[in-house]
Each structure stands twice: as structure tokens, then as C-alpha cells.
Amino acid sequence: MNKLGICSWTLGISDIRVLMEKVKTLGLDGVQFSGDWRDFNAEEVREAADLFDLEIFAIDPFNCEPANPEQANATAAIEFYKNIIDFAVETNTPWVTLQGLPKWTANCSTNEECWEMLVHCCKTLDAYAQLKKVKIAYECVNRYESSMIHTAEKARELIEAVGHHNFGLILDSFHMHIEEPDPIEALKYSKDFLFSYHISDSNRSGIGRGQVDFVKHHAVLEEIGFEGTIMIEVVLPELVPTSTPKNDLERERLDEEIRRSVRVWRNLKEKKHL
């Protein structure tokens, strides 16, 4: 059975021990840790996860843009993400996400320059990650949140340009609803390099609150033999796309939406095997 986790940014909890305790109470197996690595001590992050018997599935630098626009270049981007890879090693985390790299191409003058810089950065980071025994992954993100790599087809082009199996893909039901002509075909197309699948309905809320056909998504993941992690990435409707709960009532509502989505997803698995 696939392990279920959560993209930690959605919870809006900065205290690492409180965060891990919350993830445990939500009935999940671990986290895609989306905090800024500079705000955390790696040993404390690892210890907090171990305390609650949770896995850290990935390090996802959610706040990954250059601090100064003048710093948006390949050298600075590579140095930034090498630090993320080192943080993954220190927290015993198997992979790091790179979809924030387009933020560092802001000073490129053409689309071709952006692509060349992205490929160069990914190749360099892939080589570094191999030395550190860490995998890297790229999530396809919609055009309103990223300037590059919106579809599985384009992601595969990037992965093939990098040229190593250490490099995989993350597909998210919310982003696919916006960008993919056929999300089911995108999942099938990504069979050989899909690392993780993210659950978020077409309106960024939980399963069944929008237009995504999760029954079909679940079925095709089983059909292709997907064994990777499933991540919950749910936001309350009034807080979309990236705002987190501001009070106890909103936190309670988000918790219940996460628990409900987890139950629905797991029930789909159980019904499949009745």
C-alpha cells in the first residue's frame, strides 16, 4: 500500500515538534517537508519525525526565490539547492524537489536561455545529489505559479535532457486539472519516472470538493503499478491557493478536510480489493 503524507506548508505550523505531532494525529505516515531549511536545525527535524514514528519523504523548499533579484543566476541557484540536498542528507530524507528553479531564471532574456539554464542547473544538482545518495524530483506546476514545466510531457523532456534515473517527477491533481489535456494519460505517460502523486481537488480543496475524478486517478495509479508516496495538499476554499489557517476554527476545519480525504482515498483502495 502506498504511504500517505502531507505537504507540511499547508498546516501553517512552524514549531517542528508541534508539526510532527499534528501529522501523526491526522493518521499520516510522514511529510513532504516544505519549510525554509535556514529556519530549522536538521537534527531537531529528524528527531521530531522519529519521535512520532514519521518519515520525511522529501525536502521541498517552498520559499525558494532569490532574496535579491540580482542574485537570480545559475551559480546562486546551484549553491542554494546544494544546501537543500545537504539538509536532506542531514535529515535522512531520500529526495529533494527542484520545481522552484524557474524563479532563478528571472534575468534570462529569452525562453531558450531559461531552458538552457534550467537544464544546466538540474544536471549539476543531479550529479551532486548522486554523490550524496539523494534523489531529485520536479513537480509540474500550473502556469500561474511557475513560468516553466507545466505538463508531464515537458517534465519528461527535462528529465531526458538531464539523462539520469536519479531524477523523477511529481504530478499533482490540482495542477493537472489546469494544465493537462488528459490527466489520466499524463499519469500513464509518467509511469516510469513518477516519484509522487499529490491529492488536491480542482479548487485546491479536499477530495470531492471540485471536479477531479479521483476514482479514475486512483484506478490508473494502480494500473501502472505506482508504488510511490501519496501527498495530501489541501487548502480551505477561502484561503486558496497558498494561505494557511489563521485561527482555531480554520485549523479544525482543515484537519477534518484532510482526515476526510485520507479516508476517501484509503476506501478507494479497500473497495478495489473487495
If phi > 0 it is left, if psi is from -120 to 50 it is alpha, else beta; for residue 233 that is beta
Domain containing 40 — which CATH number? 3.20.20.150
Range of the domain at 76: 4-272
Q: Where are the beta strands (DSSP E) in the chain?
A: 4-7, 30-33, 55-59, 95-97, 135-139, 167-172, 194-199, 229-232
pLDDT along the chain (274 residues), means of 10: 95 96 98 91 97 98 88 96 97 97 96 98 97 97 96 96 92 98 97 96 95 97 97 92 92 97 90 50
- 24's grid cell: 501523526
Cβ burial of 271 (10 Å; 0-12, 13-18, 19+) is exposed
The reply to whether omega before 241 is within 30° of 0 (cis) is yes
Quick one: pLDDT at residue 164? Answer: 78
Amino acid at the residue 118? L
- Phi and psi at 145, nearest 5°, equal -115, -15
Amino acid at the residue 155? A
CA distance 4 to 262: 8
CA distance 114 to 147: 10
Amino acid at the residue 28? L
Cβ burial of 253 (10 Å; 0-12, 13-18, 19+) is middle
Quick one: pLDDT at residue 270? Answer: 67
CA distance 197 to 152: 12
Q: What is the pLDDT of residues 214-224, one digit of tens each?
A: 999 999 999 99
Q: What is the pLDDT of residues 108-123, one digit of tens each?
A: 999 999 999 999 999 9
Which H, E and C letters describe 156-196, residue by residue? HHHHHHHCCCCEEEEEEHHHHHHHCCCHHHHHHHCCCCEEE
Quick one: pLDDT at residue 272? Answer: 55
Quick one: pLDDT at residue 271? Answer: 60
Q: Looking at the chain, how many residues does it have? A: 274
- Classify each residue of 115-154 as buried b or exposed e, where b means 16 or more C-beta atoms within 10 Å of its C-beta: bebbeebbbbbbebbeeeebbbbbbbbbeeebebbbbbee
247 Cβ neighbours under 8 A, 6+ residues apart = none
Q: How many domains, in total, are found in the chain?
A: 1
- 180's grid cell: 493537462
Amino acid at the residue 267? N
Quick one: pLDDT at residue 80? Answer: 96
